[in-house]
Amino acid sequence: MFGTSGKSVGVCWLSVVAAVTLTGTSVIASDFRFDRDTLAFANQTVFEYHDGHPSLRTGSSVRRDMYKRHCFVICRTALQFKKFARFDPRSAPLDDASLAARIRAVTHRQPWAAPLPKDQRIVFPGYKDLQEMSKARREFVQLKIGHGWPSYFRISNVRMIFLQSAGYQEETHAHLDAALARGELFAGFLTTFPRFTINHSILVYKRKSFSPNPGIEHYLVYDPNHPESPRELTWSPHTRSFSYQKDWDFVGGYVRVYQVYGKWLQ
């Protein structure tokens, strides 16, 4: 199913494009800055995790106001603000109605659309960047950027059932390098289906220039569960597979990656 000559040629061509771009630079990245272009709050998990293993939340860990199931929403929002918004800290902040309207104007744009020119971007006065605004108006921003439950019904989620080959992951890796080479961000869906040790969205924004392990490529990631610092995704050409770093909410290791928000219905 995945070994057709057409697909092989496509993967090869994407790899060549990425390789040519890599030759001219040691670091591939957009101008995305973690301390400026991310949201200040975390996506909270439905389950509690102990060394990456899930268990039902109990007692004080269960709160009705938990901001959970929003990892896709947060990644999409960061991507949209990077493309379509700018900030003006020298002007007075907007009232609630005006701020809500401008947030909607950003988040209702297709995330795969081309970035707006600077002079056409939607302006958010009173704040220097998305990090500052989402910290000062945390609950307001959470309410206005969208619901999390539609993420479970994304048409493209079905890929995790039918597209599991190493060849498809190799093609995804080529798309990742090509996107970064164009100065773009790459939104990814991580899964270990049919296991559910991870079912999560991240935003890849930079390929690291130095790898401590020869043959392994390292990428910096904005993970909505961890707004405090970047996480790391790796690619092994030898095994033709991705791995994600171990943390309290993931055991670490092998994941499959699927691009999201790169085009319609993705």
The answer to whether residues 217 and 90 touch, using CB atoms and an 8 Å cutoff, is no
- 125 upstream amide cis, omega within 30 of 0: no
| End residue of a domain, out of 106, 131, 149 | 149
The answer to whether residues 258 and 158 touch, using CB atoms and an 8 Å cutoff, is no
pLDDT at 150 over 50: yes
> What span, in angstroms and rounded, lies between the C-alpha atoms of 122 and 81?
9
Assess whether 123 and 196 both reside in one domain.
no
Q: What are the residues whose beta carbons fall under 8 Å from the beta carbon of 203, sequence distance 6 or more?
A: 75, 78, 79, 185, 186, 187, 188, 221, 222
211 or 230, which is more confident: 230
Assess whether 26 and 78 both reside in one domain.
no
30 or 87, which is more confident: 87
Q: How far is CA 105 from CA 81, 121, 173, in A?
A: 10, 10, 32
* CA 36, chain centre distance (Å): 15
Find the domain containing 76 and state its range: 35-149
If one counts the domains in the chain, the total is 2
Assess whether 157 and 143 both reside in one domain.
no
pLDDT at 12 over 90: no
Assess whether 40 and 99 both reside in one domain.
yes
Local confidence band at 46 (pLDDT 50, 70, 90 cut-offs): confident
Say if 265 falls within a structural domain.
no
Give CA angle at 186 (141, 72), nearest 5°: 40
pLDDT given for residue 9 in this prediction: 37
> What span, in angstroms and rounded, lies between the C-alpha atoms of 154 and 4?
27
Number of other CB atoms surrounding residue 194 within 10 Å? 8
Give me 7's structure tokens: 């697909």
pLDDT at 53 over 80: no
| End residue of a domain, out of 103, 124, 149 | 149
135: enclosing H helix or E strand: helix 130-136
pLDDT at 19 over 70: no
Say if 266 falls within a structural domain.
no
Assess whether 145 and 156 both reside in one domain.
no
Assess whether 109 and 125 both reside in one domain.
yes
Assess whether 90 and 184 both reside in one domain.
no
Mean pLDDT across the chain: 87
**Range of lowest pLDDT (23-37, 63-77, 179-193, 252-266):** 23-37
Sign of CA dihedral 67, 71, 76, 81: positive
Assess whether 44 and 144 both reside in one domain.
yes
Assess whether 96 and 143 both reside in one domain.
yes
pLDDT given for residue 30 in this prediction: 78
pLDDT given for residue 45 in this prediction: 83
Please report, rounded to a whole number, the percentage of residues in the chain having pLDDT higher than 90.
Answer: 76
259 or 196, which is more confident: 259
> What span, in angstroms and rounded, lies between the C-alpha atoms of 246 and 253?
7
Give me 210's structure tokens: 């130095």
pLDDT given for residue 20 in this prediction: 40
pLDDT at 185 over 60: yes
Sign of CA dihedral 124, 126, 127, 130: negative
Say if 76 falls within a structural domain.
yes
Assess whether 72 and 13 both reside in one domain.
no
Number of other CB atoms surrounding residue 237 within 10 Å? 12
Local confidence band at 58 (pLDDT 50, 70, 90 cut-offs): low
Say if 221 falls within a structural domain.
yes
Assess whether 68 and 162 both reside in one domain.
no
| End residue of a domain, out of 106, 125, 149 | 149
Assess whether 171 and 212 both reside in one domain.
yes
Its pTM stands at 0.85
Give me 35's structure tokens: 């301390």
Say if 72 falls within a structural domain.
yes
